[in-house]
Structure formats: C-alpha cells, structure tokens
C-alpha cells in the first residue's frame, strides 16, 4: 500500500472515498413477494491509508452479542484518525435474524457453511456469494462474531487456524485467554475467507438470544487490540490477556457428555478453573436420588457449559479444555474463584 494515499472502497454498486462513512442496505436476495432481502453494512474509510478489515456478526441469526460489538465499533467509536477501512456487517443472516433462528429459514440452510457461495446455486450460496465478493474478498483480514448454540454458553474465545502464520498473528492480537485451533469446517466464513487470502478468525462469546454486556466489552477490547496490531488505530496498544492457552481442536472429545438422563445441577460458571476430580455438575433424578456426579477428568478451564439444564444420555454437559501447569498458575493468579458451590477438594 502506498504511503498515505488512501484508496476508495468499491463494491458492486458503489464506492466510499477516503474520509467518508456510508451506511448502506445491500441486496443479497429477494423474498417470496419479490422484495429485496438486504443486509446492513457500514463502511468507514479512514482519511489515511491502511488495511481493510471486516467485522461481521449473526451469520447464525439468533447469535446477537456480536451485533452489538459491530454496531458500537461502527457508530460509537471515535474513528476520526482511522488508518485504513472498516467494513462492518452486524447482521449477515437477515432472514434468520428476522425469524430469531440459527439457520436460514428456507430449507434450514446454514449460511455459515455456504461460503464462498456461488452466483448460480442455492439461495444460501447466492447470498453468501454476494456478501463474499463485495465485502469480504476486498479486505485484508476479518473477524466473524458468534455465540454458542441455543441452550449452551461459552466463555469468550477465538477459533483460528494457528498453523497459518497470518491467521495466528490475528488470533493472538485479539487478546483472548483461549484460542482453539483448527482450520474450520469448509463453507465457514473464517475458513473460506482465510483460504481466499483474507486471514479471518471466529470469536465465540456467550449465549444466543442475549446482549451480554461484560462479553461485549471484552470483545470490543479484542477488536481494539487487533486494530492496534495492524496500525488502524495508531493511538491504541495491543493488549495481553494475562494468560493464554492454545488448544488443538479435537472436537467432540473435549465435550464431557451425560451418561444419564436427568436435570443438571451445574456447580461452576463458564470460564472457571476446575481441578482434576472436582465435581463439575450433578445429574439429578425427579426424586433427587440416585444422582450422577460428573467429575473433571483433568485440570482445565470450562470453556463452554450447558444452559438448558435437561439432558439425555449423550448430550453435552460442558467443554473442558486442559491446561498446562504454567497456564494453570497464571489463571489462578488472574482469576478469583468463580465456583458457585464447588466441593472443596482440590
Ligand atoms: Zn454461530
């Protein structure tokens, strides 16, 4: 990029010149009535040259926390000295958002398995294509914000392909305690964007159907830190989260599953440190007898837990991530105990 001559941001149908901000509603499909389905996009092109970064949320229509993160960056931050361009897309999956559900209502398609999309394919892939070609491919990096699936919650963490140096730089810059590394399923925005040369990470934060202020603030800190790392906000500093663990993703294995049906009494909050042998939760019967204790098989941090307290055998209870000794000590220094009523056995 040349010294300080910022470029216009162009998309199919418009341009945003340096020093300009545009709020647009961009058509990505049509309803049964032939009306446009349009996503809100705010493009903030700084007066000074710099990288182009996209922020997106609600690729799953009921995952709301990220929407507020994107809106606050776009509309509440002072970006007068921005070096580069921000492409802010608070609601990618508009039909899912309107229905307050995860998937696109038509055939229950997952928009976040439909990238990079195709112009002449299914409705989901056409929508993905319009988003991808206009607002993702022109960027230098991206952050896609999600929450846990309905009925569960997770602590704020990053999902990123740490084997990719460019993605790893971005993931580290976000300043979260936990990074879960994998290249991600094909069709996800982060994987397809990264494969197309736009390093992208996913942020997981909290529950669906909520605005959770504490998590939103933490994610805003992460975005600020990323924009500092890449020079978009020269006055800000890259932050260090205090402790960090990078976990290789072995998917389902790290989810502890119920071996009995029942109602779950959870003894720890999401984000807590639990020691090997701690009773994480108890699966109780209607008579509160023959209860099943679920103990931590190793020492780690509870990255995710169920919120809806009813389980069949095989249902996930919690996502426990193992910690090495130095990380555990750092977390103990960092964290005041958040156990609700944990038995003191560690
Ligand atoms: Zn999601």
Burial of 178 from C-beta contacts in 10 A (0-12 / 13-18 / 19+): buried
Residues 237, 288 within the same domain: no
Which residues, in sequence order, are CB contacts of 4 under 8 Å at separation 6+?
Answer: 48, 49
Res. 133 pLDDT band, cuts 50 70 90:
very high
Q: Which residue has the higher pLDDT, 250 or 158?
A: 158
**Domain for residue 1, yes or no?**
no
Strand (E) or helix (H) holding 303:
strand 300-306
Rg of the chain in Å (alpha carbons): 21
Last residue of a domain, one of 247, 267, 291: 247
User: What's the 288 CA to ligand 1 centre distance in angstroms?
Assistant: 35
Residues 102, 143 within the same domain: yes
User: Which residue range forms the structural domain that includes residue 63?
Assistant: 9-247
**CA torsion 59→131→49→230, rounded to 10°?**
30
pLDDT in tens, 13-58: 899 999 999 999 999 999 999 999 999 999 999 999 999 999 999 9
User: What's the 255 CA to ligand 1 centre distance in angstroms?
Assistant: 17
**Domain for residue 4, yes or no?**
no
User: What's the 148 CA to ligand 1 centre distance in angstroms?
Assistant: 6
Residues 310, 166 within the same domain: no
**Domain for residue 74, yes or no?**
yes
User: What is the C-alpha to C-alpha distance for residues 287 and 280, in angstroms, rounded to an integer?
Assistant: 21
Which residues, in sequence order, are CB contacts of 194 under 8 Å at separation 6+?
Answer: 161, 164, 166, 167, 183, 184, 200
Q: Which residue has the higher pLDDT, 8 or 345?
A: 8
Phi and psi angles of residue 318, each rounded to the nearest 5 degrees, phi first? -160, 155
Does the CA dihedral 220-79-166-113 come out positive or negative? positive
User: What's the 103 CA to ligand 1 centre distance in angstroms?
Assistant: 9
pLDDT in tens, 320-342: 999 888 888 888 887 755 444 44
User: What's the 139 CA to ligand 1 centre distance in angstroms?
Assistant: 21
Residues 156, 237 within the same domain: yes
**Domain for residue 194, yes or no?**
yes
User: What's the 157 CA to ligand 1 centre distance in angstroms?
Assistant: 13
Residues 206, 262 within the same domain: no
**Domain for residue 305, yes or no?**
yes
Residues 267, 230 within the same domain: no
User: What's the 154 CA to ligand 1 centre distance in angstroms?
Assistant: 12
CATH number (domain holding residue 52): 3.40.630.10
Number of domains in the chain: 2
What distances in angstroms separate CA 5 from CA 46, 127, 235, one per listed residue? 11, 33, 20
Residues 218, 301 within the same domain: no
Of 181, 140, 136, give the one whose Cα is nearest residue 157: 181
User: What's the 187 CA to ligand 1 centre distance in angstroms?
Assistant: 13
pLDDT at res. 333:
84
User: What's the 283 CA to ligand 1 centre distance in angstroms?
Assistant: 27
pLDDT at res. 6:
86
Rounded to a whole number of angstroms, the distance between the first and last alpha carbons of the chain is 55
210 and 65 Cβ atoms separated by less than 8 Å: yes
pLDDT at res. 107:
75
Residues 240, 262 within the same domain: no
User: What's the 274 CA to ligand 1 centre distance in angstroms?
Assistant: 26
């Amino acid at each position: 990029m040349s010294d300080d001559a910022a470029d216009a941001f162009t998309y199919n149908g418009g341009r945003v010149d340096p020093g300009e901000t545009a709020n647009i509603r961009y058509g990505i499909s049509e309803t049964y009535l032939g009306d446009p389905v349009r996503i809100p996009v705010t493009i903030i092109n700084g007066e000074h040259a710099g990288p182009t970064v996209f922020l997106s949320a609600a690729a799953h229509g009921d995952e709301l926390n990220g929407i507020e993160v994107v809106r606050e960056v776009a509309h509440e931050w002072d970006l007068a000295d921005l070096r580069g361009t921000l492409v802010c897309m608070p609601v990618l999956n508009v039909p899912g958002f309107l229905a307050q559900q995860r998937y696109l209502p038509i055939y229950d398609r997952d928009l976040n398995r439909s990238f990079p999309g195709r112009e002449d394919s299914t409705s989901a892939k056409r929508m993905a294509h319009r988003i991808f070609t206009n607002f993702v491919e022109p960027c230098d990096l991206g952050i896609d914000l999600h929450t846990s699936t309905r009925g569960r919650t997770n602590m704020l963490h990053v999902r990123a392909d740490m084997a990719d140096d460019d993605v790893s730089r971005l993931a580290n810059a976000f300043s979260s305690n936990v990074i879960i590394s994998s290249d991600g399923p094909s069709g996800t925005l982060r994987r397809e964007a990264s494969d197309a040369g736009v390093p992208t990470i996913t942020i997981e934060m909290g529950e669906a159907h909520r605005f959770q202020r504490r998590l939103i603030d933490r994610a805003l800190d992460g975005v600020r830190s990323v924009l500092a790392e890449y020079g978009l906000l020269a006055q800000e500093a890259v932050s260090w989260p205090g402790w960090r663990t990078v976990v290789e993703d072995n998917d389902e294995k790290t989810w502890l599953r119920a071996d009995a049906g029942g109602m779950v009494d959870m003894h720890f909050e999401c984000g807590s440190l639990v020691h090997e042998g701690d009773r994480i939760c108890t699966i109780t019967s209607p008579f509160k007898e023959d209860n099943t204790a679920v103990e931590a098989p190793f020492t780690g941090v509870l990255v995710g837990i169920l919120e809806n307290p009813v389980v069949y055998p095989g249902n996930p209870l919690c996502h426990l991530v193992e910690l090495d000794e130095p990380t555990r000590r750092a977390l103990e220094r960092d964290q005041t105990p958040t156990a609700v009523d944990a038995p003191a056995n560690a």
